[in-house]
Structure 1
Amino acid sequence: MIQKKCFCGSSKSFPECCEPFINGTQKAPTALALMQSRYSAYATLQADYLLATTHVSERKYHSKSEILNWATSNQWLKLEIINATENTVEFKAYFLGGKLQKQIHHELSTFKLENGSWFYVEGQFFN
């Protein structure tokens, strides 16, 4: 059986790429790896992972039901990494919205390494 490439766009299959981070068997080693796994978590409707990888100082602004609603109301097409530094990732997430209209979510995300784990802190959105 041929494995489909990972949702994040890497050349690896999902089980070889983002799935170990999402299922908790491995920690994302970099901010970029965490960002890619968070995109894959949206594509696979893993709201628990998305909440768990949001920095504790920001979790109160997010809810599992809102995350799940956003994830399920869109068809995730592809992830484009524009730039990545040690603790930031600029990306474009391409998706089809509720009325099947093509949309692009362009963001500069900031991440923080704490106790050996990376966390999403905040995002600056571009139009």
Structure 2
Amino acid sequence: MPALSDPAPHADSPAGAVARSGAETVSLDDSARCPCQSGEAFGSCCGPYLSGQASPPTVERLMRSRYTAFAVRDAAYLLHSWHPSTRPATLELEPGIRWFRLDILDRVAGGLLDSTGIVEFEARYRMPPAGNSGDESRPAVGIQHERSRFERAEGRWTYVDGE
């Protein structure tokens, strides 16, 4: 596991932003099912966004690609896709969290011709059993429910914040 104390900036990270991950980034084959649960293969879904070959054309696609980045622990992509006005200087991902399900509940605007948009979603994750109350042999399951706001910055969709 890489050390978290002195991370180096990722080549794709914005200037001054540092990506930290408590575990190695997970590599996916292009033919593997995309973690965002679109039903598409990673190579024709979120893969081109995470690799920098393309930019998500809609806020829903950006939301799905950010979920995938959490699932594969790609902190650099998360920073890159964050709006400059709200982007943290560093991002440290929890090594034991395993994201396993994404449900898109609502989308407002955020299309090809829009400048803002909102996506409401629920993302489910598992935490390691150590430190959980109750049965120590079973991982705890959590749900992240959020209405995320997105804006275009320099022509591409970016995550602003969520409630």
Partner residue, 2:107: 84
Q: Which amino acid aligns with 2:50?
A: I
Q: Which of 113, 123, 129 is the aligned partner of 1:93?
A: 123
Bigger Rg, structure 1 or 2: 2
Q: In 1, are the aligned partners of 2:30 and 2:44 still within 8 Å (CA)?
A: no
Alignment of 1:102 with 2:141, yes or no, is yes
Question: What is the distance in 2 between the residues matched to 1:5 and 1:91?
Answer: 20
Q: Number of matched residues?
A: 119
Partner residue, 2:55: 27
Whose helix fraction is larger, Structure 1's or Structure 2's?
1
Runs of 4+ in 1 over 4 A off after TM superposition: none
CA change 1:2–1:42 in 2 (3 A) is closer
Question: What is the distance in 2 between the residues matched to 1:73 and 1:14?
Answer: 22
**What is the CA-CA distance between 1:20 and the residue it aligns to?**
0.3
Q: Which of 13, 20, 30 is the aligned partner of 2:41?
A: 13
Q: Which amino acid aligns with 1:118?
A: W
Q: In 1, are the aligned partners of 2:60 and 2:119 still within 8 Å (CA)?
A: yes
Q: In 1, are the aligned partners of 2:151 and 2:160 still within 8 Å (CA)?
A: yes
TM-score (structure 1 length as normaliser) = 0.87
**What is the CA-CA distance between 1:2 and the residue it aligns to?**
9.9
Identity rate of aligned residues, in percent? 36
Question: What is the distance in 1 between the residues matched to 2:100 and 2:55?
Answer: 25
Q: Which runs of 5+ in 1 are unaligned?
A: none
Q: Which amino acid aligns with 1:39?
A: Y
Q: Which runs of 5+ in 2 are unaligned?
A: 1-28, 110-116, 130-138
What is the root-mean-square deviation of aligned Cα atoms in Å? 1.7
